[in-house]
Amino acid sequence: MTKKLFIKTYGCQMNVYDSDRMTDVLAPLGYAPIETPDGADMVILNTCHIREKASEKVFSELGRLRMMKEKARDQQGRAVTIAVAGCVAQAEGAEITRRAPWVDIVVGPQTYHRLPELIAEIDPSVRKRAIDTDFPQEVKFDLLPEEHAPRGPAAFLSVQEGCDKFCAFCVVPYTRGAEYSRPAADVLAEATRLVGRGTREITLLGQNVNAYHGDDGHGSVWSLGRLIHALAEIDGLERIRYTTSHPLDMDDELIAAHGNVPQLMPYLHLPIQSGSDRVLDAMNRRHSKDVYFKVIDKLRHVRPDIAMSGDFIVGFPGESDQDFADTLALIDKVGYASAYSFKYSPRPGTPASVSDLQVPEAVKADRLEALQQLLNAQQFAFNKKTEGMRLDILVERAGGRAGQMAGRSPFMQAVNFAGSEDQIGQIIACDIIEGRQNSVTAEITSMKGVA
């Protein structure tokens, strides 16, 4: 009999990828994914620990799941298995079982290939739990089954995981462990399978994806630039992206790829976090803003239309008004097509969390508002600038309204246009009609009779 599996995913794209792979791991056990928790036999929360808000969400969700579990047991005599996976599981496994004893399984990001064994271990009738937050010797990627379900026109593919950089604010090195790169042959095989099932665009994932150094099977190591060249040879793979990059790992081969691999899309998420060298130093980012400007200059030299994106943190301990003004100046100078920004959130176990120089919440809130105003204005201006351009759109899904389809431009813009569902998976030339704050509207070029 099939069992119903509901996975709720928080956090970054790597968690989205991991959730898909957990679905693959559980498929041979008879679990089929469903879209809502109602009637689920197993619920997995794939969690994120990056900011306080993200991890607190998990505990409120667990409260709701407790009621669901008790109702299923009392009214239907049915057992619901509850699992917590991801970065909160890794960082706070013990806290989870203390605060939410109705959780059956706690599994960290490096051991979800062991889910079948963990499921076999638990016994809800005697409240026997299974917990696995190891950083094991075996490599999970080698032990995962091949993909079961198609991933759609645009798919993620993890090529690198973990981080050795230890920025002073960040939990990732603790939750995901040391840097690891998958062998190039494995990545190419997975990409080929994805394309065989209809994927047209692959986003290569890693916490520091451009620190990729994968074994080529012949005693050498491939950089990300080399890997992208090899992926571009796969017939039917039309678009390649990668995220998230660290400025220090933008080597010349990778930058050159932006000029000489047509499938590599003209969009790059390259976080800097702050525009003040003093703050960058305190954050242990290990580079100055000049290094960042130089990388962007080189990118724009080989690919003048490249759209830039980034991440910013406001209110890092010790950030002064002048430091913040430097961040606004950097944003002015770069000109972003989109960007993410956050108030600094002190995270347990990180060096910055114990600094005496914490910035008051109200100051953080003011700075975030000013920063987002500037970034929103830049994003709007970028979308406006594309009005009148003819761009290739990868059609990904039906849009919000009837007859409307949604896709992405090469610059990662969300694009809405009148079309039909049989176009999903196609790349269609469109004329951009109107640039909006968070998306653009377009018309299919041929529909206007302009071949």
Residue 225's alpha-carbon distances to 193, 216, 310, 410, in angstroms, are 21, 13, 20, 19
Question: Which of 158, 160, 203, 208: binder of ligand SF4 (CB under 6 A)?
Answer: 208
The H-or-E segment that residue 374 falls in is: helix 361-385
Interior CA angle at 206 toward 202 and 207, to 5°?
145
Q: Which of 173, 317, 419, 435 binds ligand SF4 (CB under 6 A)?
A: 173
Residue 216 tokens, joined: 């080529």
Tell the smallest beta-carbon distance from residue 342 to ligand SAH (Å): 4
* Cβ count within 10 A of residue 191: 22
Q: Are 69 and 195 in contact (CB under 8 A)?
A: no
- Residue 143 binding ligand SF4, by CB under 6 A: no
Q: Whole-number minimum distance, CB 404 to ligand F3S, in Å?
A: 31
d(CA 392, CA 404): 17
Phi and psi angles of residue 127, each rounded to the nearest 5 degrees, phi first = 50, 50
> Which residues in 268-297 contact ligand SAH (CB under 6 A)?
271, 273
DSSP state of 167: -
**Ranges assigned E (strand) in 163-298:** 180-181, 201-205, 214-215, 221-222, 239-243, 267-269
Give the C-alpha separation, 329 to 344, whole Å.
19
Interface with ligand F3S, residue 86, by CB under 6 A = yes
Site string for ligand SAH, 171-190 (x = CB under 6 A): -x------------------
**Sequence-ordered list of residues with C-beta below 8 angstroms from that of 193, at least 6 positions apart, any chain:** 146, 147
Told to check if 311 binds ligand SAH by CB under 6 A, we report: yes
- The reply to whether 12 sits in an annotated binding site is yes
Burial class (CB in 10 A: 0-12, 13-18, 19+), 449: exposed
Q: Kindly give, in sequence order, each residue whose CB lies less than 8 Å from that of residue 165, ignoring residues fewer than 6 positions away.
A: 173, 208, 246, 284, 286
Strand ranges inside 48-122, DSSP E: 81-85, 105-107
With CB under 5 to 8 Å by kind, the binding choice for 280 among ligand F3S, ligand SAH, ligand SF4, none is none
**Both structure tokens of 309:** 């994106």
Write down the least CB distance from residue 172 to ligand SF4, Å.
4
Number of residues interacting with ligand SF4: please give it, by CB under 6 A: 10
Of 93 and 407, the one with the shorter C-beta distance to ligand F3S is 93
Residues 348-387 that bind ligand SF4 (CB under 6 A): none
Binding ligand SF4 (rule: CB under 6 A), the pick from 4, 51, 241, 246 is 246
Return the one option of ligand SAH, ligand F3S, ligand SF4, none that residue 265 interacts with (CB less than 5 to 8 A, by type).
none
Among 4, 15, 25, 271, indicate the residue that binds ligand F3S (CB under 6 A): 15
Stretch that binds ligand SAH, among 74-82, 152-160, 169-177, 389-397 (CB under 6 A): 169-177
Q: Which stretch binds ligand F3S (CB under 6 A): 8-16, 26-34, 235-243, 366-374?
A: 8-16
**What, of ligand SF4, ligand SAH, ligand F3S, none, does residue 90 touch, CB below 5 to 8 Å by kind?**
none
Residues that bind ligand SAH (CB under 6 A): 50-51, 169-170, 172, 207-208, 244, 246, 271, 273, 311, 313, 342, 344-345, 347
- Kindly list the residues in this chain that would bind ligand F3S in the complex (CB under 6 A): 11-12, 14-15, 48-50, 86-87, 171-172, 175-176, 207
Query: Residues at the annotated binding site for [4Fe-4S] cluster?
Result: 12, 48, 87, 163, 167, 170
